[in-house]
């Protein structure tokens, strides 16, 4: 099975995660897919295959050289984002892409436009996997899984390539921030690892956001509107004032690079009670702390204006910037960059404007930079994946492993 066939098989599994179930894995399809992967790993000759009751799949490529080579790992996640349907994905391959807009769905008139997504033009002449515009594609992160499995299969079939022990793992629920929660670092037994969970070809990341969630609840008082003078307290309007007090230019749509933001995810409620759900993101730890404090101070300001208990806030830290854990072992980033250069890729070293299992794993004692998986426009209908990027990612994995044994 080649890597394209492998990827197309993987996306046939419905593995959308769901943060509301309270289970691990959060949805049954993830375990179904992981069981399939366990069988496939056994078929290609991997060893020490284990799948626990929480959906964490691990396996070993045994060393075939006598040198003292560090054990390293490669990790990807089996779930897809709940932001868009990942069920019944209808993918097709646009061969020898001509650089024009791509009609994804004639009936719905869904078009992947180059004016909106100009990054696709760099793949002119390549073969690109797209959706029919009604689902996401699942390259995040089934491309990463396909690349890891294909690299392992290649090394097993080519024993002349000497290497140390390699561990691989496929985790559940990364998309809802829980992928590393039950990851057993000691059992995994690697000195460091790489998540194959980045975007475009060349991406190499060892910095990510510090992240927290915030839920602010506003309490009002409902009175018949005809007799509401000096009595009604409309919690929706108070929530709106809170939103307006946050800086309008510090949202995802207004920021880039190292700039942090406040992101309003959801509004729910009525006159008596309204809740706002935010996520807070910043690469700088001090600025991250400031953002959390600022949101708390605005709640206090609301309570000063409208009375005690009008607003409450619940803050939860989600993950932290892995930079501080990776910088002391920067050779693991340098090794990945060198492997990319060897296969003709220019490394794009930049901060992740998001999170990855690698951030939590780094703080658990497993330094874990992130390498490109090749896809673009994750979590939406315009997601696409150049096949040649998947092939290059597979080569990068092989070269990292091979170079370590030299």
Catalytic residue among 140, 141, 174, 207: 174
Q: What is the DSSP string of 135-198?
A: S---HHHHHHHHHHHHHHHHHHH-TTS----EEEEEES-GGGT-TTTT--HHHH--SEEEEEEE
CA dist 377 and 382 (Å) reads 6
- Residue 366 to residues 38, 105, 147, 152, 355, Cα–Cα distance (Å): 23, 43, 21, 21, 16
Let me know how long the chain is.
406
CA dist 109 and 253 (Å) reads 26
- 174 classed as catalytic: yes
Task: Say which residue the tokens 């980045």 belong to.
Answer: 198
CA dist 163 and 70 (Å) reads 10
Catalytic residue among 79, 140, 147, 153: 79
Which residues lie below 8 Å from residue 172, measured CB to CB, with a gap of 6+?
17, 24, 25, 26, 30, 31, 34, 54, 55, 56, 77, 78, 79, 178, 179
Helix/strand/coil for 221 = strand
Closest CA to 372 of 202, 194, 183: 202
- Residue 358 to residues 194, 282, 373, Cα–Cα distance (Å): 7, 17, 14
CA dist 287 and 281 (Å) reads 9
> 133, 162 in Cβ contact below 8 A?
no
The residues pairing with 167 across neighbouring beta strands, listed in sequence order, are 60, 73
Strands (E), 37-164: 47-51, 57-61, 72-77, 92-94, 102-105, 110-112, 128-130
CA dist 76 and 81 (Å) reads 14
Q: Which residues are identified as catalytic?
A: 79, 174
């Amino acid at each position: 099975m080649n890597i394209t066939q492998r990827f197309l098989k993987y996306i046939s599994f419905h593995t959308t995660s769901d943060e509301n179930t309270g289970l691990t894995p959060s949805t049954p399809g993830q375990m179904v897919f992981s069981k399939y992967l366990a069988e496939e790993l056994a078929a290609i000759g991997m060893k020490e295959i284990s799948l626990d009751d929480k959906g964490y799949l691990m396996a070993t490529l045994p060393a075939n050289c006598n040198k003292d080579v560090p054990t390293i790992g490669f990790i990807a996640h089996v779930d897809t984002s709940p932001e868009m349907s990942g069920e019944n994905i209808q993918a097709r391959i646009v061969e020898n892409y001509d650089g024009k807009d791509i009609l994804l769905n004639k009936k719905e008139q869904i078009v992947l436009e180059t004016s909106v997504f100009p990054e696709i033009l760099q793949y002119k002449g390549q073969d690109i996997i797209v959706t029919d515009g009604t689902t996401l594609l699942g390259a995040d992160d089934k491309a990463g899984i396909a690349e890891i499995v294909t690299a392992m299969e290649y090394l097993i079939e080519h024993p002349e390539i000497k290497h140390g022990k390699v561990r691989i793992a496929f985790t559940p629920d990364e998309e809802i921030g829980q992928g590393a929660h039950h990851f057993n670092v000691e059992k995994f037994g690697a000195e460091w690892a790489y998540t194959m969970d980045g975007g475009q070809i060349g991406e190499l990341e060892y910095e990510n956001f510090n992240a927290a969630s915030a839920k602010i609840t506003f309490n009002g008082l409902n009175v018949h509107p005809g007799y509401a003078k000096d009595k009604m307290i409309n919690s929706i309007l108070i929530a709106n004032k809170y939103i307006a007090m946050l800086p309008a230019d510090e949202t995802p749509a207004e920021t880039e690079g190292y700039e942090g933001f406040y992101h309003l995810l959801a509004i729910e409620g009525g006159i008596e009670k309204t809740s706002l759900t935010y996520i807070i993101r910043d690469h700088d730890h001090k600025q991250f702390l400031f953002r959390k404090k600022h949101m708390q101070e605005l709640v206090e300001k609301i309570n000063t204006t409208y009375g005690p208990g009008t607003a409450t806030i619940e803050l939860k830290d989600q993950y932290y910037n892995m930079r501080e854990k990776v910088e002391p072992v920067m050779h693991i980033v340098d090794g990945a960059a060198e492997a990319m250069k060897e296969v003709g890729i220019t490394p794009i070293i930049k901060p992740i404007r998001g999170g990855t299992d690698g951030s939590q794993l780094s703080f658990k004692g497993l330094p874990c930079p992130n390498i490109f998986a090749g896809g673009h426009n994750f979590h939406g209908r315009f997601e696409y994946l150049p096949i040649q990027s998947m092939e290059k990612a597979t080569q990068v994995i092989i070269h990292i492993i091979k170079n370590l044994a030299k």
